[in-house]
A and B are shown apart, each in its own frame.
Chain A
Amino acid sequence: MIRMENVHKAFDDNHVLRGMNLEIPKGTSMVIIGGSGTGKSVALKCILGLITPDSGNILVDGKDAQSGDRDAFLARFGMLFQGGALFDSLPVWQNVAFRLLRGSLKRTADEARKIAIEKLRRVGLKSDVADRFPAELSGGMQKRVGLARAIAAEPEIIFFDEPTTGLDPIMSGVINDLIREIVTEMGATAMTITHDMSSVRAIADNVAMLHGGVIQWTGPVEQMDASGDPYVEQFISGSAEGPIEAVR
């Protein structure tokens, strides 16, 4: 279980998180929605320790995320970045198997390559992609490679940062379905950040609406449309009228 308790984070005068509280039960898929610049990515990076919160607690299975063995902590996570964040200098298979080629999870190169190709197949890519470089792939293929890398070491917790941004609706649907299938089949705890309501409906067990640095509403995805929360209603309808200012 992941728990954020009263987490604050500011960048100079910009107070991004103002006491965020969130709980993600083990084995469930939480999707955080909210406008651009509301701190969704900051919250995610705080959990991973990429950004240090100013105050508050972040607990993963009851243990403080900021202390203890960082390698062991990070080994439990997989992450799909918004732009893929693939390493340009490495071929696709070495990107996917990055964790399996070094550190505590190190395997032989042959073994790592086999696993990488298997994970590429799992996300719908053929084995001939393995020896190409990221720059030779389309945006959708890069996202899939990023997804394969996120699941390569079979992590317990997977984070998805805007998994469908920049993709056409068909490719977005493919990625959403893949994420749902993989999370279900691995039994992983998932946290996704998105603006895309089709992703929310496809991926989420639970939804949280982040605005003004705090969670405005959270609940099961089935209750989202009838939440009665003005922030959620405005976000779902995409209306310029409501508590969320159109000009921010």
Chain B
Amino acid sequence: MTPVAMLGGLGRAVLGLLAAFGRVALFALDAISHIIRPPFYPREFGLALLNIGWLSLPVVGLTAIFTGGALALQIYAGGARFNAEAVVPQIVAIGMVRELGPVLVGLMIAARVTSSIAAEIATMKVTEQIDALVTLSTHPMKYLTAPRVLAAVITVPALVAVGDVIGIAGGYTVATQNLGFNPATYLKNTVDFLELRDIVSSLVKGAAFGLIAAIMGCYYGMSSGRGAQGVGRATKGSVEAAAVLILAANFVLTGVFFSL
């Protein structure tokens, strides 16, 4: 392959990526505009709250408790190398609230919710249910996308808050039961060390990750190809895109909150 052909290929790939970003951005703006304009579908919104929020609690809780416990063990082992075992409560708290809580909840939501939204909407598309909605005077963006996006933006920060607390509780349990920490001192150190900025950053990340997860699920579902293969591709693409965008957004938001 000649250098010119390689450059041409690279250029096409970059243009394709930019065009895809543009399409997703326009889709997201359209979805947000439907959230604030009537008619509203409270039943769909309620179901989305239940599916995205309530039904994600078990997986979020289990992920957080094991992560918090493992974090406590790692910090204790690492800290022991320079006699700093006492920092376990502070580092577990800051690690869970600033990074691991939001990122792991975001990724779990991408796996559980984004895939489910993409598969459901893509199946509706290939079975003409989206066309049926239109003929029944119901806008698919308003009926399918807006309730899911709004519900994700509201519930994912709540899930992150729950994940943060359960993760810290996991660390607390391991530290007090296995590593010999005093329970009262552990809790005091945790509470004293956390700042308002840590908690706000955690919740803002949760809202951003919820937006990304729901938008990617809806976008890939709505733009799915035909047949079972189309549904499969939409589902896979939605999870990949949501996971990468969540990690990229996490980097940007961490920079905004803690480096500026």
Find chain A residues with CB under 8 A from B137 CB: 70-71, 74-75, 99, 103-104
Find chain A residues with CB under 8 A from B136 CB: 74, 98-99, 149
* A102, B127: Cβ atoms closer than 8 Å: no
Instruction: Check: B2 CB closer than 8 A to any chain A CB.
Output: no
**Residue of A75, A78, A82, A88 with most partner-chain B CB within 10 A:** A88
Find chain A residues with CB under 8 A from B39 CB: 102-103
* B138, A85: Cβ atoms closer than 8 Å: no
Interface size on A, residues (CB 8 A): 24
Q: Given A102-B39, A103-B39, answer yes or no on A83-B134 (Cβ-Cβ < 8 Å).
A: no
CB distance from B60 to the nearest CB of A (A): 24
Within 8 A of A (CB), among B88-136: 123-124, 127-129, 131-132, 134-136
Find chain B residues with CB under 8 A from A98 CB: 136, 138
| Separation of A45 and B130 alpha carbons in the complex (Å) | 13
Find chain A residues with CB under 8 A from B131 CB: 45, 50, 81, 85
- CB closest chain-B residue, reference A50: B131
| Separation of A103 and B123 alpha carbons in the complex (Å) | 25
SS class of chain A's interface: helix, strand, loop or mixed? mixed
* B132, A74: Cβ atoms closer than 8 Å: no
Within 8 A of B (CB), among A18-74: 45, 48-50, 70-71, 74
* A48, B128: Cβ atoms closer than 8 Å: no
| Separation of A149 and B128 alpha carbons in the complex (Å) | 15
Find chain B residues with CB under 8 A from A151 CB: none
26 A-B residue pairs with CB within 8 Å: A45-B131, A48-B134, A49-B134, A50-B135, A70-B137, A74-B134, A74-B135, A74-B137, A75-B137, A77-B135, A81-B132, A82-B128, A83-B127, A83-B128, A85-B131, A86-B129, A87-B132, A88-B123, A88-B129, A99-B136, A99-B137, A102-B39, A102-B41, A103-B39, A103-B138, A104-B137
Binding site for A on B (CB under 8 A): 39, 41, 123-124, 127-129, 131-132, 134-138
Find chain B residues with CB under 8 A from A99 CB: 136-137
* A85, B41: Cβ atoms closer than 8 Å: no
- CB closest chain-B residue, reference A105: B137
- CB closest chain-B residue, reference A104: B137
* B135, A87: Cβ atoms closer than 8 Å: no
Instruction: Check: A183 CB closer than 8 A to any chain B CB.
Output: no
Instruction: Check: A79 CB closer than 8 A to any chain B CB.
Output: yes
| Separation of A180 and B138 alpha carbons in the complex (Å) | 28
